[in-house]
Structure 1
Amino acid sequence: MRGGSVALASTTARTGRSAAESATGDTAAGDRLRAPSRLHAFNRYELKYLVPVSQVADVRAELTARMRTDHNAGADGYGVWSLYYDTQRLRFYHEKIEGLRFRRKLRVRRYGETGPADEDTPVSVEIKQRVNRVTQKRRVMLPYRLARDLCDRRVRVEHPGADQAFVDEVLDLIHRLDLRPTAMTGYRREPYVGVDSDLGLRVTLDHRVRGRDRDFDLRAEAENRHIISPGLAVMEVKANERAPYWVTDMAARFGLQVQRVSKYCQSVEAHGLAPRSVFHVPEEDVAV
């Protein structure tokens, strides 16, 4: 079938009290923390696929024929490194696994390769949350030293303009739930953006998805392990409302199926912080 668009898939969400709330006994706080905020919200619907490396070239050819490469990317894309924060009992992890309709996670993200960088290297402090079928990402750019003051040292940092409210929200979230660095992820991202009738469409291919559960400095050249097989790339499709038919047709022709993949959850499970769930990449597809 050609033309038009199709609705993006969503995971059936359970209602009621989450395992994380049961663990903390803080149902009321959980309700407040999951309430959607209007500050700096970028709403998206998402689909995720696992693409065997043997098919990446063919998928890339179709993407480049219909989309353009993101101007921020070099010839081979760019690196993305993210440090995720969670509670001692992994509240955010369990909210994702349980498929709660309202869930969120906090991360600090650096674009580019790891390695030496000064304290003023810009990083993004982000709250990514799911509200029913919609993914919202809210963020503020800070020098790395201020991001560490905020998220690790729990110090209020000043930011000009309306972003101060978001910075204060991050600090409140960290204090209220006693968040701490939990896991890192890193990968090489190959980004494409839609043109003409596909404006607002974004498709990324993430290669060599790795992670670690220690050495949380985003500048450290620390040892990582593959949390998804290097024989697979993660293709993420993000759209304002609906994905074009040609995207889902392409996936069907290559035999790709929508996957419920969370890089953060993969890193948590790969490092033994939680048992491997049934929703994620099979054990045999993870490089040890």
Structure 2
Amino acid sequence: MKRTLPGVLLAAAALTGCSVTNVEPDEGGIVYDAGMFSSTTFQECLKPSTRDVSGPGDEGYRYPNGQRTYDFTGRAESEGKPITSVSRDGQIMTMIGGLTFYFSADDCKKLQSFHENIGKKYAAYESDGWTRMLQFYIGNSVERAMDEATLKYNWRELYSDPAKKALWEQDMSKLTNQYVSNLTQGEYFERLQFIIRQPEPPKSIVDAQTETQAAQERQKAQEAENTRALTELKSLEKLAKVLGPQGAILYKAIQDGKISIVPVPTGSAVNVTPKQ
């Protein structure tokens, strides 16, 4: 998260002994008086897009400001791996996604409290430290909330029922807010919202579900064929009553195209060649 200062600015800072803090547009900053002959004390907060030149020995820190994400997709740049939790009916569900939140580094009172209580401990003003901090405070809270919320639903509800999945996400958001606040002892992370793909049960369960659905479709097709055949049989029974058994058979053969009817004028000679 720290950035290298331009050469000219570094030279100027070295000559004057000053401390320089450059705050980017998506950051907030905080400066402490940490001179050689004084105790470390809070000095001021820095707004986004500012550059502060402080006295010798002063210390400046920068933190992300605005919306941020705790990513648990397991990708190279993510903060966490996919999370697994057990459903009410005992199936292991795998959740892949993220949690968006808002961090107010431009709120001076809140930033000072965060830095002194959490930020310094994890060096969260550095990229690696910020990730470690998120993994402990956000990651642990998300996993605990997910375990608790998932136990309230069957795997089929989470896998194929959008309404139930929406309720599940609401449960997790509420629990995560509660656990994060309890863990941090402050309201540092706000507007928490999950973005999660469809929860996945084990592959064997998905395959069995797919085969069950395919079997149901085959059964429906067979039932439709049985209904068609029964309807046709009843139709033939009615024809047999009117035309007699042989007449009904002849009628059905004509209808199916097995016998062709050719009009023949009266008195004409006719040669009939049976179909092979």
TM interval, shorter chain, is under 0.3
Higher strand share: 1
User: Using CA pairs below 8 Å that are at least 6 residues apart, which structure has the higher relative contact order?
Assistant: 1
What's the TM-score, normalizing by structure 2? 0.23
What's the TM-score, normalizing by structure 1? 0.22
